[in-house]
């Protein structure tokens, strides 16, 4: 038996004008209305974030995500806005400008210039509890080859500023501009990781440790490993799917013998291909170096973590959610299908809108 580890999720959302469906710089105003430490502003003033409490099972995490989405969506509507769950805005651009008033974010813009343009994109970050930082590094090393599978499952940002980007996850392409991001290197220990971070800060490559934007990293604030490769999910079930699979990967890492992994360049290429192709496209199998489908990646991941899913009681939910995705398509596919059916990106925005009265 593999003991179920604690977990939590951070979700970023876009705030858009209810009439134009374009990003609206009201995120800070909406968050300020909610007197709860779990709600936060973000890099762009067109964003809002919810961070769940620590949970031990998917049922409690579902309640948390429902609570966060309901509260933020209700506050947005009181300000003539919609809260949408998409990695990028289908219409308009997220920023900056306008930028959050946070001094750190202002410093980032002053330092990195146009690199910060359009960085108001939205992800889903899963935290899984681990005993200590060295175990977080152990989990990070284990998760690296499975990052493309997590990405294809979450790809939910095909449109940007009124155009089809040709990517299933354009958010991934936008976020990859930062100097320290993407697939992390293989670390020998937590001390090895800390030494790299200190060198990057000392060389002013990054402003602070928070700018380590690897797809998986040890948390700075809690004894967790944080996996941050996913686009924000349109539905709560898809967010829970990311959480269940991520926890299962960490659980498996803690009881497995380390294995050799594909070269970093191949893993980076596999992630880039996954961001383009999405769940329903042609991807790269980093282990073999051959082309495969997005579903091939997912099936291998589920097979790898099946014992951990079963022991946590999550296997039935995961299989049910994957069955639904096979029928309906991934987030990017559903967005494109809706545009094909309706011929209007405003209908896509309405589809992505989180409602204050029911689960998405």
Q: Examine residue 152 and state whether it is found in any structural domain, yes or no.
A: yes
Residue 100's pLDDT band, with cuts at 50, 70 and 90, is low
| Per-residue pLDDT at 88 | 97
Q: Examine residue 359 and state whether it is found in any structural domain, yes or no.
A: no
Ramachandran region, residue 270 (left: φ > 0; alpha: ψ -120 to 50; beta: rest): alpha
pLDDT of 360 > 50? The answer is no
CA atoms within 13 A on the CB side of 333: 15
* Structural contact between residues 160 and 89, judged by C-beta atoms closer than 8 angstroms: yes
249-284 confidence digits (pLDDT tens): 999 999 987 777 889 999 999 999 999 999 989 999
Which residues does residue 182 pair with via DSSP β-bridges, in sequence order? 214
Can you give the CATH number for the domain in which 38 is found?
Answer: 3.30.590.20
> For residues 127 and 7, what is the distance between their CA atoms, to the nearest angstrom?
5
| Per-residue pLDDT at 359 | 46
> For residues 242 and 233, what is the distance between their CA atoms, to the nearest angstrom?
9
> For residues 301 and 146, what is the distance between their CA atoms, to the nearest angstrom?
7
Looking at the whole model, is its pTM more than 0.85? yes
Q: Examine residue 360 and state whether it is found in any structural domain, yes or no.
A: no
**What are 25's two structure tokens?**
């710089």
pLDDT of 1 > 80? The answer is no
Q: Which helix (H) or strand (E) holds 291?
A: strand 290-293
131-174 confidence digits (pLDDT tens): 999 999 999 999 999 999 999 999 999 999 999 999 999 999 99
Mean pLDDT of the chain: 93
| Per-residue pLDDT at 204 | 94
Number of domains present in the structure of the chain: 1
Q: Examine residue 73 and state whether it is found in any structural domain, yes or no.
A: yes
Residue 119's pLDDT band, with cuts at 50, 70 and 90, is confident
| Per-residue pLDDT at 256 | 86
Q: Examine residue 218 and state whether it is found in any structural domain, yes or no.
A: yes
| Per-residue pLDDT at 3 | 64
Q: Examine residue 358 and state whether it is found in any structural domain, yes or no.
A: no
Q: Examine residue 312 and state whether it is found in any structural domain, yes or no.
A: yes
Q: Examine residue 109 and state whether it is found in any structural domain, yes or no.
A: yes
Average pLDDT (341-355) is 96
Average pLDDT (85-98) is 86
Q: Which helix (H) or strand (E) holds 12?
A: strand 7-17
| Per-residue pLDDT at 109 | 85
Q: Which domain holds residue 44?
A: 7-352
């Amino acid at each position: 038996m593999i003991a179920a580890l604690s977990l939590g999720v951070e979700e970023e959302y876009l705030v858009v004008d209810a009439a134009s469906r374009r990003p609206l710089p009201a995120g800070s105003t909406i968050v300020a209305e909610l007197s709860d430490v779990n709600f936060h502003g973000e890099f762009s003033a067109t964003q809002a974030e919810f961070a769940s409490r620590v949970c031990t099972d998917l049922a409690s995490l579902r309640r948390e995500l429902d609570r966060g989405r309901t509260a933020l969506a209700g506050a947005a509507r009181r300000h003539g806005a919609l809260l949408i769950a998409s990695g990028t805005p289908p219409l308009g651009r997220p920023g900056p400008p306008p930028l959050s008033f946070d001094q750190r974010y202002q410093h980032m813009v002053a330092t990195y210039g146009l690199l910060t343009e359009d960085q108001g994109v939205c992800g889903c970050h899963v935290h899984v509890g681990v005993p200590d930082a060295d175990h977080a590094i152990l989990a990070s090393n284990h998760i690296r080859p499975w990052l493309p599978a997590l990405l294809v499952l979450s790809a939910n940002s095909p449109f940007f500023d009124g155009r089809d980007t040709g990517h299933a996850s354009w958010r991934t392409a936008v976020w990859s501009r930062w100097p320290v991001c993407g697939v992390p290197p293989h670390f020998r220990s937590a001390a090895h990781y800390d030494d790299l971070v200190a060198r990057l800060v000392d060389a002013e490559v990054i402003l602070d440790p928070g700018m380590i934007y690897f797809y998986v990293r040890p948390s700075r604030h809690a004894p967790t490993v944080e996996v941050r490769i996913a686009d924000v999910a349109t539905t709560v079930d898809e967010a829970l799917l990311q959480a269940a699979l991520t926890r299962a990967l960490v659980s498996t890492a803690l009881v497995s013998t380390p294995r050799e992994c594909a070269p970093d360049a191949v893993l980076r290429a596999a992630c880039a291909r996954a961001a383009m192709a999405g769940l329903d496209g042609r991807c790269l199998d980093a282990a073999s170096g051959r082309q495969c489908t997005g579903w091939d990646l997912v099936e291998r991941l589920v097979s790898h973590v099946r014992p951990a899913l079963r022991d946590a009681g999550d296997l039935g939910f995961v299989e049910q959610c994957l069955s639904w995705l096979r029928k309906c398509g991934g987030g990017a596919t559903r967005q494109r299908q809706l545009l094909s059916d309706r011929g209007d990106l405003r209908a896509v925005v309405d589809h992505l809108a989180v409602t204050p009265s029911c689960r998405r």
